[in-house]
Amino acid sequence: MSVQAGDRPRLVFAAPRGAPKAPTHLADLDREGRRAAAAALGLPAYRAEQLARHYYGLTHDGPLTDLPAAERDRLRAALLPPLLDAVRTVACDDGATRKTLWRATGGALVESVLMRYAERTTVCVSSQAGCGMGCPFCATGQAGLTRNLSTAEIVEQVVAAARDTARGETGAPARLSNVVFMGMGEPLANYARVVAALRRLTSPAPDGLGLSARSVTVSTVGLVPAIGRLAREGLPVTLALSLHAPDDELRDTLVPVNTRWPVREVLAAAWAYGATTGRRVSVEYVLINGVNDQPERADLLARLLRGRLVHVNLIPLNPTPGSDWRQTAPASEREFVRRLRGAGVTTTVRDTRGREIAGACGQLAAAG
């Protein structure tokens, strides 16, 4: 099957001007910001800290009995405005996978997916409404970029997932352990808000949810300068690089941002990230039948990755409506894995959790 190179989508790095903005929320603010917000309400700074303890302790929906009755509603109204309205939740895998479609300020639709495994519970969150990177196999990419999500809109997806997990909505009550930025959007194209969200997720209470940085994964299409910046933030989150092809000719078409930062540069940035943070880098590779799954490409990929602190995650394609591209046949997938492992490259095939609820990237929102 050939890859169309003719009508390459335009790359969009900045959200449209004048896009609707979410109201400011507690989770947008760091400690100083919270204190200033309390002062602006004529309240002592410690009221903001009490509210933050409730929020990150997942008790903010409760009676807030340690706050004076007269102040509760004002604090709630000023600092906990509703941001995401659940339009629909669908479950599969006997309730162990739950996908939520949210309507955000201005009507933008975003989604998150909560996945319960034996040893961990992971939420997959969106960082943008839509995406401007135009990868042709991705439903989100086809829709284009609507707007960046605010820090609090990202954090709210995680807080909702943590609350549902604690309430036992995915099985026995548990703690949310992992967050992956693999929903809609390119996280590093919404850099400042995503990094602030990472700080809220990983800071201990009352500044955040206290998740371990290593259990938070940021997946990127490979914005090289932003990978360098992220390495210097002192936030050792796991980096996942969506490579999808080992050669520039093919990657230019599958991942259009490759025309800006080619394979050699993006891999150099990933290795530098690994060296600075001490973290093993994940390389994501969507297997598309007859497009990027040939044995020669497995060998070329192995040559690029051999000897590095890396883990390859092969993702069976979730075909998008209107596309001829299909999943790789089982025998070709096995051969691809065999060649990588034969070269000493740690390789796994991603489980296809949530497929029957249109699990991959952007498909629930695309369904409307």
320 is an interface residue for ligand SAH by CB under 6 A? yes
Q: Are 255 and 190 in contact (CB under 8 A)?
A: no
Verify binding: residue 360, ligand SF4, rule CB under 6 A. Answer: no
Among the listed residues 71, 111, 156, 284, the single catalytic one is 111
Contact 351, 306 (CB under 8 A): no
> Distance between CA atoms of 42 and 35, rounded to whole angstroms?
11
Is residue 131 a contact residue for ligand SF4 (CB under 6 A)? yes
Is the distance from CB of 140 to CB of 364 less than 8 angstroms?
A: no
287 interacts with ligand SAH by CB under 6 A: no
* Interface with ligand SF4 (CB under 6 A), residue from 109, 110, 125, 135: 135
Q: What is the DSSP letter of 360?
A: S
Asked if 149 is part of the footprint of ligand SAH (rule: CB under 6 A), the reply reads no
Binding flags for ligand SAH, 240-269, as an x/- string (CB under 6 A):
--x---------------------------
111 catalytic? Reply is yes
CA 132 – CA 187 distance, rounded (Å): 11
For the CB of residue 133, give the shortest distance to ligand SF4 in the complex, in Å. 4
The letter for the amino acid at 356 is E
Residues 200, 195: Cα–Cα separation, whole Å: 9
Segment 35 to 54, residues that bind ligand SAH, using CB under 6 A: none
DSSP class of residue 9? P
Contact set for ligand SF4, span 179-198 (CB under 6 A): 185-186
Q: How large is the C-alpha radius of gyration of the chain? A: 21
Distance between CA 197 and CA 177 in Å, rounded? 16
Catalytic residue numbers read 111, 361
Residues that bind ligand SF4 (CB under 6 A): 131, 133-135, 138, 140-141, 185-186, 221, 242, 361
Residues that bind ligand SAH (CB under 6 A): 131, 137-138, 182, 186, 219-221, 242, 284, 286, 315, 317-318, 320, 360-361
